[in-house]
A and B are shown apart, each in its own frame.
Chain A
Amino acid sequence: MPNKNVIFEAKDLVKEFGHGKTHNVVLKGLNFEIEDGEIVTIVGGSACGKSVVAKHLLGFMQPTKGELFYKGKKITNQRDHWQTVQPIFQDPFSAFNQFFSIRSQLEDSFKVLYKRPSRAEIKERVDAALLAVNVMPSDLKEKFPFELSGGQMQRMLLARIFALKPQVLIADEATSMVDACVRANILDYLMKLKKELNMTIVFITHDIGLAYYVSDRIFVMHDGGIVEHGTPDEVALHPKSNHTIQLLEDIPDIHKDWIKRKRA
Chain B
Amino acid sequence: MSIFEAKHLSLHYLTRFGSKVHAAVDISFELEEGEILGIAGESGCGKTTLVSGLSGMCIPPLNYTSGEIFVSGQPLIGRPLEDIRENVLAKEISMIPQGAYNALNPTRKIKDLAMDVLKSHEKGKANKKEMYQRIHNRFELLGLDTDKVLNSYSVQLTPGEKQRSVIGISTLLNPKMVIADEPTSALDVTTQKQVIGVIFDLLEKKVFSTMIFITHELPLLRHVADRIAVMYAGEIVEMGTSEQLVFSPKHPYTQALMSAMLSAEEGARKRKPEAIEGAPPNLAEEIVGCRFAPRCKHATDGCKKNKQEIRIVDNRQVRCENAK
A residues with a Cβ closer than 8 A to B are: 44-47, 134-136, 139, 148-152, 154, 176-185, 187-188, 206-213, 232-233, 236-237, 246-248, 250-254, 258-259, 261-264
Q: Which chain B residues lie closer than 8 Å to A134 at the CB level?
A: 278-279
CA distance A206 to B261 in the complex (A): 15
Top 10 A-B pairs, shortest CB-CB distance: A151-B43, A179-B216, A206-B188, A180-B260, A184-B273, A184-B275, A209-B262, A236-B264, A250-B189, A212-B264
Kindly report which residue of chain B lies nearest to residue A139, judged by CB atoms.
Answer: B282
CA distance A207 to B158 in the complex (A): 19
Q: Which chain A residues lie closer than 8 Å to B42 at the CB level?
A: 151, 178-179, 181-182
Q: Are A207 and B189 in contact (CB under 8 A)?
A: yes
Kindly report which residue of chain B lies nearest to residue A236, judged by CB atoms.
Answer: B264
In chain B, residues 216-260, which have Cβ atoms closer than 8 Å to a Cβ of chain A? 216-220, 222-224, 246-247, 256-257, 260
A115 to chain B, nearest CB (A): 33
A42 to chain B, nearest CB (A): 13
Q: Which of B83-91, B198-206, B302-310 contacts A (4 or more CB under 8 A)?
A: B198-206
Q: Are B43 and A177 in contact (CB under 8 A)?
A: yes
B311 to chain A, nearest CB (A): 23
* Contact of A185 with B275 at beta-carbon distance under 8 Å, contacts A254-B219, A259-B197, A261-B203 already known: yes
CA distance A253 to B193 in the complex (A): 12
Q: Which chain B residues lie closer than 8 Å to A247 at the CB level?
A: 189-190
B263 at the A/B interface (Cβ < 8 Å)?
A: yes
Q: Are B223 and A185 in contact (CB under 8 A)?
A: no
Kindly report which residue of chain A lies nearest to residue B280, judged by CB atoms.
Answer: A134
Contact of A264 among B204, B218, B257, B266 (CB under 8 A): B204
CA distance A136 to B280 in the complex (A): 10
Q: Are A180 and B186 in contact (CB under 8 A)?
A: no
Q: Are A251 and B263 in contact (CB under 8 A)?
A: yes
Q: List 21 A-B contacts (CB under 8 A).
A: A44-B188, A134-B279, A151-B42, A152-B43, A177-B185, A178-B43, A180-B260, A181-B257, A181-B260, A212-B262, A212-B264, A213-B269, A232-B269, A246-B190, A251-B189, A252-B222, A252-B223, A254-B261, A259-B196, A261-B204, A262-B204
Q: Which chain A residues lie closer than 8 Å to B264 at the CB level?
A: 208-209, 211-212, 232, 236-237, 248, 251
